[in-house]
Amino acid sequence: MSKVRTRFAPSPTGRMHVGNLRTALYAYLIAKHEDGDFMLRIEDTDQERFVEGALEIIYRTLEKTGLNHDEGPDKDGGVGPYVQSERNASGLYLKYAKQLIEQGDAYYCFCDKERLESLRSTVSESGTEIVVYDKHCLHLSKEEIQANLDAGKPYVIRINMPTEGTTTFHDDIYGDITVPNAELDDMILIKSDGYPTYNFANVVDDHLMGITHVVRGNEYLSSAPKYNRLYEAFGWDVPTYVHCPLITDETHKKLSKRCGHSSYEDLLEQGFVSEAIVNYVALLGWCPEDNQEIFSLKELVEAFDYRHMSKSPAVFDVVKLRWMNSEYLKAMEEEKFFQLAKPYMEEVIGAKYDLHKIAKLIKTRIETFLEIREQIDFFEAVPEYDTDLYCHKKMKTNEDNSLELLRDVLPVLEMQEDFSNDALFEALKQYAAKIEKKIGYVMWPIRTAVSGKQNTPGGATEIMDVLGKEESLVRIRAGIEKLEAR
């Protein structure tokens, strides 16, 4: 049995779509599960769609997600170049296309855009007809072709598909798929600009690079039967196809830029951690036997069996991603969490307070880093709040007894030397015991005064620990004034 070789073959056209990321992940997992090779190939045959910087995004994303390739433009494995425009420069694709022409499996086509368009419109009017090229140029004589070529007339090279019978191709997930040959378009192999089309370059390169498993998105499923004709014409072995189920948005449509979280970079910007994104995406269309949900990349390699992949499309559920992200944050070691959260904290409160302490408080209370702002903004300044915040049914507090409590407890805090959480808690516990109230009765008004918020990360003492004695007392006095002024 030969070594498994898979490839990720993105086009440098922008951000990393999560569908692409998952395809890359699955290709990586299929290879690594069998101890095979995973390679990167750049499919840049469309010069018009090339986006500046897209290459860097591809490299960066693979690196950040840990999907390290064994071969690629930057890592020669002997079957390069790994960039299609470079391969094309040597006339590689044209050579193979011409071989097909000689065999009678392909032909020159000189039809211009206008003719092709008129073809389309006439066909659609007749209704029942199928929209494929009419093979007009297939019937050109040798002399006509040569004359056109000599005249420098632009041309493309098309494959000559059979018009009768059916073609069956096999996908390891979806099984056998049979289509009528009349449906098969004489697809273009070489474009008039000399570049190969995706369909052609893909087949040629996958063969030349020894790819054993072609992993790609379900949206290519319908073009797959055409490939068999190509492999057949060349006499090459057809690789194993693994088409991944579609990832959709909440309306069950193919995930698009419109939904706002369609790319890996979008998700990072929205405060998700890379590992959680990879983990979540792995579970979109695949599931292990024991239903484990939290996976490191290493564990995924171990557990991944692509035969357990699902066939039906999966909705990208941001809510579940958020949950998973929170799991990663909770499990993260403190220092790492601090480093990642630091920029978000600094953005709100600078370096005024001990950010380590604050990081500890928010760690179990956020799902994404973006929530940090709303969690800690009160440290910067107490927001405007209504005094009915002091009313809490369970704590049995209201504006009146809160005012009384704060006035009463203020001297206690003023005398308190040690403003650490533990010491404060101990002191206030004793105070509560003294006045024969439950601890919450004491804590609620204080927490309200120092934060001005309904909910806060941490309780009254933890907040005061961060604020320090001076600021805490300032805020409590302000709270008293606010209650008096009501």
Instruction: Kindly state the DSSP code that residue 239 receives in the 8-state scheme.
Output: P
Contact by Cβ (8 Å): 316, 308: no
Candidates 3, 75, 153, 257; catalytic one: 257
Q: Residue 60 Cβ, how far from RNA at the closest point, in Å? A: 19
**Long-range interactions of 285-289: CB distance < 8 A, separation 24+:** 285/22, 285/244, 285/245, 285/247, 285/309, 285/310, 285/314, 286/26, 286/310
Q: Residue 40 Cβ, how far from RNA at the closest point, in Å? A: 13
Q: Residue 147 Cβ, how far from RNA at the closest point, in Å? A: 17
Tokens in use for 172? 């390891």
Between 66 and 440, CB nearer to RNA? 440
Identify the three-state secondary structure at position 286: coil
Q: Residue 443 Cβ, how far from RNA at the closest point, in Å? A: 4
Q: Residue 156: beta bridge partners?
A: 109
For 187, residues 6+ apart whose C-beta sits below 8 A from its C-beta are 158, 159, 161, 197, 199, 200, 226
Contact by Cβ (8 Å): 306, 30: yes
Contact by Cβ (8 Å): 134, 119: yes
Residues of 355-393 as b/e, b for ≥16 C-beta within 10 angstroms?
A: beebbbbbbebbbbbebbeebbbbbeebeebebebbbbe
Between 431 and 484, CB nearer to RNA? 431
Q: Residue 13 Cβ, how far from RNA at the closest point, in Å? A: 7
For 483, residues 6+ apart whose C-beta sits below 8 A from its C-beta are 387, 390, 399, 402, 403, 406
Q: Residue 341 Cβ, how far from RNA at the closest point, in Å? A: 15
Residue 257 annotated as catalytic: yes
Between 99 and 454, CB nearer to RNA? 454
Q: Residue 263: beta bridge partners?
A: 17
Question: How far, in Å, are 20, 43, 106, 137, 284 from residue 10 at the CA level?
Answer: 8, 6, 27, 33, 20
Catalytic residues: 257
